[in-house]
């Protein structure tokens, strides 16, 4: 039981290290390379964007305007500075402690024996949320990058539908410069964080799946039949599972006192078991 907890805890630490590593790596790289001033981060933001716009086309449909509109959206501007990884870790902490841990505790409440599983399950939920969140950022910045790199600008008018206008050389070079100096670094930070989050999610998912705590996974179909048959016909396996259940409840593995069915540890299985006002048969003794 101790070695199992140490293994799950080590895997969880590894996944958290992957998240913090991306922050340190990005900061180190930023310190080594010279700081170039992005075109849209210079005085042009204060004097206006007219110098970056194609003449004769709707201003709000041009690629440069798309970049400005994107930056105004919630959290999209996080990726434009070196504090991106720090902000992402802060969001991780808020979600982890205010949302994921309370939800995970509803299932893994036998502490300290289930502490590794509690944090592993909470991290899995938090990382899954962050993965979707960062994919949203990736989709937005990827869209404006494609628009900046295209040789033509798509725009619509109220009466005549959609049109394509070829960029002149000056407009094309300006757009590509913005894509390289401002959008490119943002996408690089986002991609690095995606790799770290996905890696940590894989690690904790495998850790939970490899754990021998039955409530960590829901058995169904043939798996549930095999597990039930093994408990029924393999005495050694049944004794080992019973001893683990007693240890998780804080008792001696050989004690015969205060025994409860294993499903009492899980709110889901207690409801399935029914009885005692859906509190699970035998769980109130």
pLDDT band with cut points at 50, 70 and 90 for residue 108: confident
Same domain flag for 35 and 142: yes
115 & 237 share domain: no
* 129 and 201 assigned to the same domain: yes
* Higher-confidence position of 106 and 140: 140
In whole angstroms, give the CA distance from residue 251 to residue 243: 9
**What's the N-to-C CA distance of the chain in angstroms?**
25
- Domain stops at, among 189, 214, 239: 214
End position of a domain, from candidates 214, 232, 263: 214
Dihedral angle at the C-alpha atoms of 81, 193, 9, 248, nearest 10 degrees? 100
The pLDDT tens digits for 220-229 are 667 767 777 7
Give pLDDT tens digits for 130-147: 999 999 999 999 999 998
pLDDT in tens, 175-228: 899 999 999 999 999 999 999 999 999 888 887 776 655 444 455 667 767 777
pLDDT at 50: 58
Domain co-membership, 259 together with 173: no
Does 18 score more than 60 pLDDT?
no
Residues 185 and 264 in one domain: no
Contacts of the segment 92-95: beta carbons below 8 A, 24+ positions apart: 92/19, 92/126, 92/130, 95/126, 95/129, 95/130
Give residue 266's pLDDT: 62
Q: In the predicted model, what is the mean pLDDT of residues 98-104? A: 92
Q: Are 18 and 92 in contact (CB under 8 A)?
A: no
Percent of residues, the chain, with pLDDT higher than 70: 60
Domain housing 246: 218-273
What mean pLDDT is predicted for residues 104-125? Answer: 84
Task: Tell whether 283 is covered by a domain.
Answer: no
Q: Is residue 234 part of a domain?
A: yes
Q: Is the pLDDT of residue 26 over 80?
A: no
35, pLDDT greater than 70: no
- The more confident residue out of 92 and 234 is 92
Co-location of 39 and 172 in the same domain = yes
Looking at the structure, do residues 205 and 223 belong to the same domain, yes or no?
no
Asked if residue 80 is part of any domain, the answer here is yes
Domain co-membership, 10 together with 47? yes
Let me know whether 228 and 133 are in one domain: no
* 23 against 125, higher pLDDT: 125
Residue 65 lies in a domain: yes
Domain presence at residue 256: yes
Interval 78-104 mean pLDDT: 93
Task: Give the residue from 214, 235, 262 where a domain finishes.
Answer: 214
Query: Does a structural domain hold residue 278?
Result: no
The pLDDT score that the predictor gives to residue 46 is 42
Structural domains of the chain, count: 2
Q: Does residue 122 fall inside a structural domain?
A: yes
Identify whether 15 is part of a domain: yes
Q: Identify the pLDDT of residue 47.
A: 45
143 and 45 together in one domain: yes
Q: Are 183 and 136 within one domain? A: yes
148 plus 255 within the same structural domain: no
So what's the pLDDT on residue 157? 76
């Amino acid at each position: 039981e101790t070695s199992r907890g140490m293994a799950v805890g080590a895997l969880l630490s590894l996944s958290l290290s992957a998240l913090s590593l991306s922050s340190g790596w990005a900061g180190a790289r930023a310190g080594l390379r010279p700081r170039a001033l992005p075109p849209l981060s210079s005085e042009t933001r204060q004097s206006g964007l007219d110098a970056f716009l194609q003449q004769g086309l709707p201003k709000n449909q041009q690629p440069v305007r798309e970049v400005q509109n994107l930056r105004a959206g919630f959290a999209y501007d996080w990726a434009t500075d070196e504090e991106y990884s720090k902000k992402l870790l802060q969001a991780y902490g808020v979600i982890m402690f205010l949302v994921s841990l309370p939800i995970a505790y509803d299932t893994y409440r036998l502490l300290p024996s289930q502490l590794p599983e509690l944090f592993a399950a909470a991290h899995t939920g938090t990382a899954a949320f962050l993965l979707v969140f960062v994919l949203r950022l990736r989709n937005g910045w990827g869209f404006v990058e494609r628009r900046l790199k295209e040789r033509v600008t798509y725009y619509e008018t109220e009466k005549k539908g959609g049109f394509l206008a070829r960029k002149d050389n000056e407009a094309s070079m300006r757009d590509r410069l913005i894509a390289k100096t401002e959008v490119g670094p943002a996408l690089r930070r986002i991609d690095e964080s995606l790799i770290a989050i996905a890696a940590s999610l894989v690690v904790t998912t495998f850790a939970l799946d490899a754990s021998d705590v039955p409530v960590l996974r829901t058995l169904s179909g043939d798996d549930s039949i095999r597990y039930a048959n093994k408990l029924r016909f393999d005495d050694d396996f049944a004794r080992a599972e019973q001893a683990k259940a007693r240890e998780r409840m804080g008792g001696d593995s050989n004690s015969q006192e205060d025994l409860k069915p294993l499903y009492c540890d899980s709110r889901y299985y207690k409801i399935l078991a029914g009885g005692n006002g859906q509190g699970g048969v035998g769980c109130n003794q």
